[in-house]
Amino acid sequence: MFNLDKRTFELLNNAGYKITFDQFRTVYKERMDERYNDPKAVARREKESAEDQAVIDAYRAELLKG
């Protein structure tokens, strides 16, 4: 990870990589969408959500007992 600022893109352009921040942002969003929709990531989120719901349900059941 590193900071992306205007100077980073100036240096990339000076090095011959002609890219604008908007082009980068478009590609970055596409990659984040790929990662978010990856079957393993989807399954992990569903599992974590089910675990969270089980904890909430157990907590509520304890509150109703007491």
Tell me if the pTM is above 0.85.
no
Q: Are 9 and 19 in contact (CB under 8 A)?
A: yes
Residue 6's pLDDT band (cuts 50, 70, 90):
confident
Q: How far is CA 30 from the centre of its chain?
A: 11
Q: Where are the domains of the chain?
A: 6-65
- Over residues 8-54, the pLDDT tens digits come to 899 999 999 999 889 999 999 999 999 999 999 999 999 999 999 99
